[in-house]
Structure 1
């Protein structure tokens, strides 16, 4: 129906006028930029409405990104820790290899290199007996762990596996009073044995004469004798030497390079001599099972 009283111009004329006015404003703004201040003022006035309208979507994106980022960072952090532990385990060889290179360059290629296979395990329990230094790892025979397997920390030698279950294994620390480890002074190759003192931060080096070439601060590394630990891994640093006149042997103490008291992960190493493992492990298996009721802690004699 047509309106009874028509006032003003027609709708068509109004539309045409609005279009022409819009085109003029667009041309003026494009050519002269006179409407920049007007646009800024309008944007400022409209911004709260835009913010409120976009708030639910922004909250949804923030929540999804936050949780996704947290999960991703946790995964990356976990992977970087494992990679760092592996790299530090391999880096332990550098000091021994540098000293060996200086002493005997033509035998550098015959030095031991870390095995291709290593496994990261986590500590799940610690023996509360003050006279024993034992920890429990969350890897066992299902992961290929065997008795006598060397165990490393990120910094140095940690101990060896003395008992294996299906999903767990017990590790004897090098500081246990029943443990002996063949070592050598990295500076000059002097060989001896490091005996556990029963204290978590101390090793003893018995049977070294007073005139032995050893000094405070010397790095002690595994010598490889005995076939249990591969050679060249850091063990401890000499902290105290007491030479008393009239005594045939000096009293020497060393501090383990591994942080045994606060270790959370360990590296289980497969050496490059699997035939020896397959030959010796079946022979030691029954003997250690019988001795486990009386003295489950074997010694690694040089």
Structure 2
């Protein structure tokens, strides 16, 4: 009897404790909700959260140790094969990047040359035709280039060819869609020129000793020429229009025992590297003053010219013989 009473008492006590725990849990839940609502609206616990986060930093650090250790092990024990594969892949990526960079540099350089050519066409009176050099004559003794314009484009024999810096040569053979151009550095080519500074005239022929220079023929010892003078086309013989930049004098040697001085000039045009060129159509076209590279003296140019030079100009056939 007493045992049954004790069992009932224990069951009742457990029931009361269970109910009390449920009330406590519900109370804590309601309290938590109230705190969260109050914190979200009034930020009462911001400093508390900051302090707890600061205190929990070491816990986060220790918890991340296994991950960092695993990464370190992977880095230390990576195989030699993996390293070689990665190295080869990086080399390939580098080559591709270098190729793209070279292509961009090439495009930028070509764009710059085209802009120079466009500026040159704006200061030349007369109609011009843009062209492109597509081949070079294989004979080292003949300085000729092939351009991608021909009879169908109106190109004619004797037509002047220029780049953005100066005179290159003249057309000496016209084909249906292409044309051969004889460069001014060819030893068979003669260009009537004059000194931009004072109007002294001479004949510039391709040097027989070098392939990149011009020699001035029939220059007397008394003619006023000096290193640094710019030579422009004189228009004599109606070979080239007047005032096209041709070359710059680099060397002068005057021997009293010789009838003529030795004068060497370097072409202004980029004969060995230029690709984009232009053909001039107007036979009487001239270059406007902006293209002249040297300032012209204001004093009037002397009309007395060396008799030897004038005689040679009148006697020589200035158009080169066809190759």
Q: Same fold (TM over 0.5)?
A: yes
The separation in 1 between residues aligned to 2:148 and 2:125, in whole angstroms, is 21
For the structure 1 residues 13 and 128, does the alpha-carbon distance in structure 2 shift closer, same or farther, using more than 3 Å as the test?
same
Matched, 1:257 2:257: no
**Secondary structure at 2:118 match in 1:** helix
Report deviation, 1:90: 5.6
Alignment equivalent of 1:24, drawn from 19, 24, 42: 42
For the structure 1 residues 214 and 28, does the alpha-carbon distance in structure 2 shift closer, same or farther, using more than 3 Å as the test?
farther
Corresponding residue for residue 50 of structure 1:
none
Matched, 1:245 2:256: yes
Corresponding residue for residue 186 of structure 1:
196
Q: Deviations over 1:53-87 (max 9, x none)?
A: xxxxxxxxxxxxx9xx9999987765443112322
Q: Please say if residues 251 and 263 of structure 2, whose CA atoms lie closer than 8 Å, have aligned partners that are also in contact.
A: yes
Corresponding residue for residue 136 of structure 1:
146
Corresponding residue for residue 56 of structure 1:
none
Corresponding residue for residue 63 of structure 2:
none
For the structure 1 residues 175 and 80, does the alpha-carbon distance in structure 2 shift closer, same or farther, using more than 3 Å as the test?
closer
Corresponding residue for residue 277 of structure 1:
none
The separation in 2 between residues aligned to 1:175 and 1:260, in whole angstroms, is 9
| Matched positions, count | 223
Q: TM-score, normalised by structure 2?
A: 0.55
Which has the greater radius of gyration?
Answer: 2
Q: Please say if residues 39 and 45 of structure 2, whose CA atoms lie closer than 8 Å, have aligned partners that are also in contact.
A: no
Corresponding residue for residue 167 of structure 1:
177
The separation in 2 between residues aligned to 1:114 and 1:217, in whole angstroms, is 24
The separation in 1 between residues aligned to 2:109 and 2:265, in whole angstroms, is 34
Matched, 1:299 2:320: yes
Report deviation, 1:152: 1.2
Q: Deviations over 1:89-144 (max 9, x none)?
A: 369xxxxxxxxxxxxxxxxxxxxx61354343332211121210001122334444
**Secondary structure at 1:209 match in 2:** coil
**Secondary structure at 1:253 match in 2:** strand
Corresponding residue for residue 67 of structure 2:
none
The separation in 2 between residues aligned to 1:251 and 1:134, in whole angstroms, is 26
Q: Deviations over 1:203-260 (max 9, x none)?
A: 1222222222222222111112233322222211223333333433223222212232
Q: Aligned-residue CA RMSD in angstroms?
A: 4.2
Q: Please say if residues 241 and 251 of structure 1, whose CA atoms lie closer than 8 Å, have aligned partners that are also in contact.
A: yes
Pairing of 1:148-297 with structure 2 (within 5 A): 148-198=158-208, 199-271=210-282, 273=284
For the structure 1 residues 256 and 76, does the alpha-carbon distance in structure 2 shift closer, same or farther, using more than 3 Å as the test?
closer
